[in-house]
Amino acid sequence: MTTTDSRVLRAELLSFDADPGENDTPAAGSLRYFEDGALWIEDGRIRAVDDYARLAPELPEGIEVIDHRGKLITPGFIDSHVHYVQLEIMASYGRQLLDWLNDYTFPEECRFAERAHAEALSDAFLDELLRVGTTTAQVFCSSHPVSVDAFFTASQRRGLCMLAGKVLMDRHAPEALTDDTRGGIRDSERLIGDWHGKDRLGYSVTPRFAPTSTREQLDAAGGLLRNDASLWLQTHLAENTGELDWVAELFPGSRDYLDVYEQSGLVGPRSTFAHGIHLDQEMRGRLAGRGANLAFCPSSNLFLGSGLFDRLAAREAGLNVSYASDVGGGTDLSGLATLKTAYQVGQLRGQPLTAWQGFYGLTLGNARALSLDERIGRLAPGMDADFVVLDPHATPLLARRSARCRDLGETLFALMMLGDDRTVAEAWAGGVCQHRRDG
């Protein structure tokens, strides 16, 4: 005899069905909102979403109803670009990108050759993600295969939807971190065989960035993608002006930084390029034409002094923009903190981020950018039951501000500006409560 795992959560519910646009009022039909909603989950998926009063008569007798009235449920947050192996070097002082890599990042990543360390940091990182309501991320591991095995093992044990990959890096890094072209591809192939498509896991082919890979390695990475169109690709692009100059020296046969990746077949609809600050509109158009996305990492861009991302220029080019914490160059794993900083960057460029765009970006927008929107990113029947319970009264200041909010848009903006890990009352993934705030 089989039994089902079924329950209902009662709360305000918000989910996007389409891009809400850039106006203060969201586009018609772009979202669904239930002031007193019911989210019925069963065996790890969403069975029904509706007004509580409408759904209540259909519920089985005795089904558990979790009462979260006064709180807001949205789809779980998605982080499109983050380095789990950099968790313990967050808040390292005073470097720009290339010096920061040499002084902090590379020495730290050498530690992930040890399985015990990789396992401990995988669990710590996932704890932190769930604490801030992030239920899915695209993750850079280190160049050590064991760092990937540890991360996927920890993610699978919790039933999480995660993308990750082994860093490919065959030059311009410490010997303890570099691989050789054939060895790095061989390791990637083994990891793909072991993990890609297993449960809720997916593999991202992960050349760190052009300066740390030879053309031979980039071409071999492109070969992996040609052999399996279901794989993802993640790397970095045009983060720092010094980086651009270095790439021009290393690849004199390429017309620009993006062309380095294009020549190796790395630009496609499942490709994420982190940062993309220093691009012209023609390069943005080339990315858009291939369906790629840029991961906007606002706190990292400010912390490392890299520059101000032009979000509207990307949008005008038809280019997908996703939102990401980066870490450890970033200052916070929280998606809410990412939106706050994105708003501030936007203000400096005269293109402030609306709360509608922000919450769409963290949920359905990022899911679409990562080709995961058939599974996550919306509260809808058949979708995986990944969601976050937000408390607009989590802190005294947020409670005061929320009490003055006149509509949902103002409440969402207050959450963007004043929310933090305390705002996340619960985080659910695969129909399981993975984090519950103490107190």
Q: What is the pLDDT of residues 276-312, one digit of tens each?
A: 999 999 999 999 999 999 999 999 999 999 999 999 9
So what's the pLDDT on residue 439? 66
Predicted local distance difference test score (pLDDT) of residue 1: 44
Reported pTM: 0.97
299/432 same-domain check: no
pLDDT tens across 394-427, in order?
999 999 999 999 999 999 999 999 999 999 999 9
Domain membership of residue 94 (yes or no) is yes
pLDDT in tens, 4-28: 899 999 999 999 999 999 999 999 9
Mark residue 94 as left, alpha or beta (left: phi above 0; alpha: psi -120 to 50; beta: remaining).
left
Q: Within a domain: residue 370?
A: no
Same domain, 112 and 228: yes
Q: What is the mean pLDDT of residues 237-266?
A: 97
Q: Rounded mean pLDDT of 256-260?
A: 98
- Looking at the structure, do residues 61 and 140 belong to the same domain, yes or no? no
Q: Which of 242, 167, 152 is nearest to 198 (CA)?
A: 152
Same domain, 16 and 87: no
| Mean pLDDT score, 96-123 | 93
What is the C-alpha separation between 80 and 137, in angstroms, rounded?
6
Is the torsion defined by CA of 424, 41, 36, 373 positive or negative?
Answer: positive
| Secondary structure letter of residue 89 according to DSSP | G
| 147 token code pair | 């760092």
pLDDT > 60? residue 54: yes
For 39, the domain range is 6-76+376-436
pLDDT at 2 over 70: no
Which residues are bridge partners to 261 per DSSP?
none
388 & 291 share domain: no
Same-domain pairing of 211 and 138: yes
168 with 110, same domain: the answer is: yes
Q: Is residue 242 part of a domain?
A: yes
DSSP character string of 202-236: EEEEEE--GGGS-HHHHHHHHHHHHH-TT-EEEEE
- Cβ–Cβ < 8 Å for 420, 427: no
Tell me, yes or no, whether 82 lies in a domain: yes
Residue 15 · residue 379 · CB < 8 Å = yes
State the CATH number of the domain containing residue 104.
3.20.20.140
What's the whole-number mean pLDDT along residues 114-119? Answer: 98
Work out the mean pLDDT of the chain and round it to a whole number: 97
Query: Of 310, 333, 356, which residue sits at a domain end?
Result: 333
What pLDDT digit, counting tens, does each position of 317-347 carry? Answer: 999 999 999 998 889 999 999 999 999 999 9
Q: Are residues 196 and 159 in the same domain?
A: yes
Which CATH number does the domain housing residue 12 bear? Answer: 2.30.40.10
Residue pLDDT, tens place only, 342-396: 999 999 999 999 999 999 999 999 999 999 999 999 999 999 999 999 999 999 9
Q: Would residue 274 count as lying in a domain? A: yes
Residue 262 pLDDT grade (very low, low, confident, very high; cuts 50, 70, 90)? very high
Please indicate, yes or no, whether residues 421 and 277 belong to a single structural domain of this protein: no
Contact 9, 68 (CB under 8 A): yes
| Farthest-apart Cα atoms in the chain, separation | 70
> What are phi and psi for residue 358, nearest 5 degrees?
-65, -50
Whether residue 93 is found in the same domain as residue 66: no
Nearest to 73 by CA among 424, 432, 431, 429: 424
Is residue 264 within a helix (H) or strand (E), and if so which, with residue range?
Answer: none
Say if 391 falls within a structural domain: yes
In this prediction, residue 94 carries a pLDDT of 73
Residue-wise pLDDT tens digits, 62-100: 999 999 999 999 999 999 999 999 999 999 887 887 888
The number of domains in the chain is 2
Q: Same structural domain for residues 64 and 97? A: no
- Classify residue 345: in a domain, yes or no: no
141 and 33 in a single domain? The answer is no
